[in-house]
Amino acid sequence: MDGIHDMGGTHGWGTVAIQPDEPVFEEQWHARTFALGLASMGASGTNLDAFRHALERLHPVEYLADGYYGRWLAAAELLLVDSGVLAPGAVEARARRLGGEDVVEPADVEVCKPSYERGGPGSLRQIDDEPAFEVGQQVRARDLRKRGHTRMPAYVRGRTGVVDARRPAAVLPDSTAHFTGEDAQHVYTVRFESTDLWGSDAEVSTVYIDLFESYLEKTL
């Protein structure tokens, strides 16, 4: 989907500073949220791709408001509410009660976890399909504009690059995030010249990006 998460090449973010001796977790709630985020996938009957898509589905303000773990917290809640494990508003109501407010918590709703089959643990799969592309071949990133989850950043859409390597086949996040199957396919690292991505006056570099076979097409 087109959204706040797809940041590659966007302007206006300012600079970034390395913070020496940064702790793994700056705040206690960051640590708890990290663990809760991991646990939320199992508790909601979902998966990592659905979790990433939940991050993307947050309102842009929500995505940025409380930083990285703020969006983990919101995404975990979103998956749990989607699955009926928690009622909408349950987290806020409980938080208000913890803060001393006298509010009524919503009643539980019916659990409706997604039903889908996994072909195994993790994301890598053995597949028998012949790879459609070979190393050294010129390819174009298709001009896909999916409404749902995808791992093709907007900045390569329609751009031409060269296959640099073929990686292990993997489940397609565009499918697994929506529980419609695994659709395992070949994955390629594709090399793009910066000037082909950002224009002729771009800083010269090469960008390597991993793209699923269905994201690519032949150029000839």
Partner 1 sequence: MTADSRTADRPPAALRAEALEALLTERGLVKTDVLDGFINRYVNDVGPLNGAKVVAKAWVDPDYRARLLADGTGAIKELGFGGPQGEHIVVVENTDEVHNVVVCTLCSCYPWPVLGLPPNWYKDPAYRARVVREPRALLAEMGLVVDGAVEIKVWDSSAENRYFVLPRRPAGSENLSEEELTALVSRDAMVGVADVKVAS
Which among 133, 140, 192, 191 has a CA at the least distance from the CA of 166?
Answer: 133
| Residue from the set 155, 160, 193, 196 that interacts with partner 1 by CB under 8 A | 155
- Indicate whether 144 belongs to the interface with partner 1 (CB under 8 A): no
* CB-CB contact of 118 with 182 (8 Å): yes
Token pair in block for residue 91: 């987290």
> Which residues make beta-bridge pairs with 67?
none
- Indicate whether 10 belongs to the interface with partner 1 (CB under 8 A): yes
Q: x/- site string to partner 1, residues 64 to 83, per CB under 8 A?
A: xxxxxxx--x--xx--x---
Question: In this structure, what are the phi and psi dihedrals at residue 193, rounded to the nearest 5 degrees?
Answer: -80, 140
- Indicate whether 61 belongs to the interface with partner 1 (CB under 8 A): yes
- Indicate whether 176 belongs to the interface with partner 1 (CB under 8 A): no
Query: 24 or 220, CB closer to partner 1?
Result: 24
Rounded-to-integer distance, Cα 82 and Cα 111, Å:
9
Binding footprint of partner 1, residue count (CB under 8 A): 86
Scanning residues 21 to 40, which ones bind partner 1 (CB under 8 A)? 22, 24-29, 31-36, 38-40
- Indicate whether 151 belongs to the interface with partner 1 (CB under 8 A): yes
DSSP reduced 3-state for 10: coil
